[in-house]
């Protein structure tokens, strides 16, 4: 299996509840290595740009408001099949539908305040990693 990298974000609902360490422990238990990490408070323009792909969706404005409501922790995760492995560790978008033991099932508040983001393809991972990190900040 290929060693991949993926972009993870611990969302404002999780940082507000002091769950950064718990999320990180679940990611590491899933076999993912946190090779870059920074805490930041997104501006509206930054959140709009990151979620531009969802601009036409009805929840877009609420999503941008939520993602700027507090600090986030952006991370680069590395491991075998990291994109799919992280999506599996996260669980379904809606925590009510997420499998037991997943981050969203255990920690998320709602379909919007669902604690974590993970890239959905290797192609998007490369774009999303470059959105948050310079190459010099990533140490594999
Ligand atoms: P993410 O992209 O954050 O990893 P995802 O790929 O599981 O999550 P997407 O369909 O890409 O889900 O939606 C992006 C984010 O928009 C979701 O994580 C959630 O925060 C929010 N969202 C998605 N669907 C809804 C909805 N029906 N109502 C409110 N918010 C939603
Ligand atoms: Mg998505």
Tell me the per-residue pLDDT of 15-42, one tens digit each, with 9 for 90 and over. Answer: 999 999 999 999 999 999 999 999 999 9
- Answer yes or no: is pLDDT of 68 > 90: yes
Phi, then psi, of 16 in degrees rounded to 5: -60, -35
Atom of ligand 1 nearest to the CA of 93: 7
For a pocket test of ligand 1, which of 93, 104, 105, 111 has the largest count of ligand atoms closer than 8 A to its C-beta?
93
Concerning whether 117 is annotated as a catalytic residue, the answer is yes
CA 2, CA 99: separation in Å to the nearest integer? 25
| Closest ligand by atom to 92 CA | 1
Cβ-based neighbours of 54, under 8 Å, separated by 6 or more: 60, 63
For 111-134, what is the mean pLDDT?
98
Q: What per-residue confidence (pLDDT) applies to 1?
A: 76
Q: What per-residue confidence (pLDDT) applies to 74?
A: 98
Phi, then psi, of 112 in degrees rounded to 5: -85, -55
C-beta of residue 63 within 8 angstroms of C-beta of residue 55: no
**Is the dihedral angle over the CA atoms 77, 81, 85, 87 positive or is it negative?**
positive
């Amino acid at each position: 299996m290929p060693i991949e990298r993926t972009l993870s974000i611990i969302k404002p609902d999780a940082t507000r509840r002091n769950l950064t360490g718990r999320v990180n422990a679940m990611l590491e238990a899933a076999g993912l290595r946190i090779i870059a990490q920074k805490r930041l408070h997104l501006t509206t323009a930054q959140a709009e740009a990151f979620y531009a792909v969802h601009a036409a969706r009805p929840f877009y404005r609420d999503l941008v408001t939520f993602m700027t409501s507090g600090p986030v922790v952006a991370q680069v995760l590395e491991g075998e099949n990291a994109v799919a492995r992280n999506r599996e560790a996260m669980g379904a978008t809606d925590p009510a539908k997420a499998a037991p033991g997943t981050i969203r099932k255990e920690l998320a508040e709602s379909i919007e305040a669902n604690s974590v983001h993970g890239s959905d393809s290797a192609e998007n991972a490369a774009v999303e990693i470059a959105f948050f990190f310079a190459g010099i900040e990533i140490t594999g």
